[in-house]
Amino acid sequence: MKENMITLTIDGIETKVKEGTTILEAAKIAGIDIPTLCFLKDINEVGDCRMCIVEVEGRRGFTTSCITKVEEGMIVHTQTPAVNESREVMLDLILSNHPQDCLTCVRSGNCELQNLAKKFNKTEIEFTGVRYKKAKDDLSPSIVRDPEKCILCRRCVAACKKVQKIGAIDTVNRGFESCISTVGNLSLNDVNCTNCGQCIQACPVGALYEKPTTNEVWKKLRDPETYVVVQTAPAVRVALGEEFNMPIGTNVTGKMVTALKRLGFDKVFDTNTGADFTIMEEATEFITRVTSKGTLPMITSCSPGWVKYIEMNYPELLPHLSTCKSPHQMFGALVKTYFAQKEGIDPSKIYVVSVMPCIAKKFERQRDEMQNNGLYDVDNVITTRELAKMIKQANLEFTELEDSTFDNPMGEATGAAAIFGTTGGVMEAALRTAQDILTGKDLEKIDFEQVRGANGIKKATVNVNGKDFKVVAASGLANAQEIMEEIKSGKADYDFVEIMACPGGCVMGGGQPIKSSKIRREVDVRALRANALYSIDEKSTIRKSHQNPILKQIYKDYLKEPGGELAHKLLHTHYTARNKYNLK
């Protein structure tokens, strides 16, 4: 069906766009940049901040370009004196009630309000606002909320309510007392927050950020009595470079490893190795459930934000959840047992740091269930952003670093592990191994493209050894809710379900580099990062988890068999029903 095209004029430039396009998007197509602040494509399109106003001939007053659709023959002016004066007044009003601590703010240099102040050459603020003292909420293990820096753009609210369908935060009160808060103004630690961090990704300023823990890492690195091991998740290597102005989706594995070694870590390992163990255990668990008529569908448990979500919202469906720990928790357990024994190191002296794209893993690592022999599997979780800060603190010129490789004996991983970082990747990796186990053959078909892609829910039927398995991969908690409601109602006939809390998977995790609204309008960040992971997989010599030689050796020498007694003790766990409020 042919799409209707609209012709309009923007700042004297005749432009043709599809019917239904907003003035903001039409201007972008014409090469004209209209400033925005509250706008976030497909998430928050409400026109509250008024920074994107324009004048349209024949209309009285200003028009908000982010929500106004184009019309045939429309004549738009984006830079009239009246428009610019009004924008400056709105910007002054926002700045007048905002802390002037840019030098020490976590978002300095990557703040959309700061960028607007530069754009409008703001060296003075005309108005003096009344500033209300508001306490910082830092009780959550994952998220810090600083209400004094909030500009009431409501992007975080939209991400939480619309994208994730959680509603842990919302706008409360009216007038000058309006603010973003929780039910009863409780801490995020005491409400139905899943720690996914999508609110952080949406925030244009420093009102929301991850709970910082790099100081603890530095202390351990400087302690000669502590053996500090670091592991890095697959999604980190395709996003870290963005913090050093490299193109989105650049694979910086070699430079990342070098940087970590220069920071002083005793061993630099790859969480991808842990992902291979996860696949072995998960595929084995799935096959056991299928052959013994266990609880189906089996649902993956790699995403801690998702796990907390099901614990709070669908506790009756917890038997569907895989008992497998997430890859970095499995790897931490092996470091403090197998590796410690092999190297003759006292496990209590080992300090495991996980570099993750996910802030929910800060919550996950301190769960009581994530311990063995009185020791936590993982001692600290830092985000991709936090690692970048550590590299900058160490005065390393990241882009100039040479490439190096992960340490042995636990640094080898497969291509299957690399794709864990994108939605559908866990399922695809599991299917590669499950089909070989069920058939007893090394099958050539290893790409399950039917579970890949940008759709929030992807359903497919996969034939393995003559049997059809119905599978579904969902990313984003709103999509997870849809699948869970199907299962709860008894309408679902799936065998295997993969769920990631973050839309698009770990590549878009709450701990990844934050992209401005403008960049998110112009670039498919998820696709660029995901494609980089698929490229790593395609270039890998070994692309099936069960063929990882390191994994084979550890099972032979230590774990004995997937799903065995020791494997269950170290690599599996249990999950618990939670109240949505006053959580522990």
* HEC profile of 523-546: CCHHHHHHHHHHHHHHHCCCCCHH
Verify whether residue 506 is a known catalytic residue: yes
- The token duo for 199 is 């609110």
Q: How far is CA 408 from its chain centroid?
A: 28
List Cβ neighbours of 112 (8 Å cut-off, separation of 6 or more).
37, 204, 205, 516, 517
500 φ/ψ angles, rounded to the nearest 5 degrees: -115, 135
Q: Which of 210, 364, 386, 412 is catalytic?
A: 364
DSSP 8-class letter at 240: G
Helix locations, 143-252, DSSP H: 155-158, 198-202, 214-221
Q: How many CA atoms lie within 13 A of 348 on its CB side?
A: 2
Cβ burial of 320 (10 Å; 0-12, 13-18, 19+) is: buried
Length of the chain, in residues: 584
Q: Which of 369, 485, 522, 565 is catalytic?
A: 369
Cβ burial of 539 (10 Å; 0-12, 13-18, 19+) is: exposed
Q: Which of 210, 281, 506, 544 is catalytic?
A: 506
Verify whether residue 302 is a known catalytic residue: yes
Report the alpha-carbon distance of residue 174 to residue 93 in Å, rounded.
Answer: 17
Report the alpha-carbon distance of residue 357 to residue 235 in Å, rounded.
Answer: 6
Q: Which of 255, 361, 515, 544 is catalytic?
A: 361
Q: What are the DSSP calls for 317-347, one per residue?
A: GGGGB--BPPHHHHHHHHIIIIIHHHHT--G
- The token duo for 573 is 């766990």
Measured CA distances, 328 to 202, 243, 509 (Å): 26, 23, 15
Q: Which of 302, 324, 358, 502 is catalytic?
A: 302
Cis peptide bond prior to 513, omega within 30° of 0: no
- The token duo for 190 is 């005491």
Buried b (16+ CB within 10 A) or exposed e, 206-241: bbbbbbbbbeebeebbeeeebbbbbbbbbbbbbbbb
Report the alpha-carbon distance of residue 576 to residue 571 in Å, rounded.
Answer: 17
Q: Which of 285, 311, 386, 412 is catalytic?
A: 285
Q: Are the CB atoms for 227 and 266 separated by under 8 Å?
A: yes
Closest CA to 301 of 575, 512, 563: 575
State in Å, rounded, how far the first CA of the chain is from the last one.
54
DSSP 3-state of 24: helix
Q: Which of 25, 242, 243, 282 is catalytic?
A: 282
Verify whether residue 361 is a known catalytic residue: yes
Verify whether residue 369 is a known catalytic residue: yes
Q: How far is CA 195 from its chain centroid?
A: 10
CA angle 3, 5, 7 (to 5 degrees): 175
Q: Which of 65, 142, 303, 322 is catalytic?
A: 322
Verify whether residue 397 is a known catalytic residue: no
Report the alpha-carbon distance of residue 71 to residue 351 in Å, rounded.
Answer: 62
List Cβ neighbours of 546 (8 Å cut-off, separation of 6 or more).
276, 279, 280, 283, 433, 436, 437, 552
| Residues tagged active-site | 282, 285, 302, 322, 361, 364, 369, 506
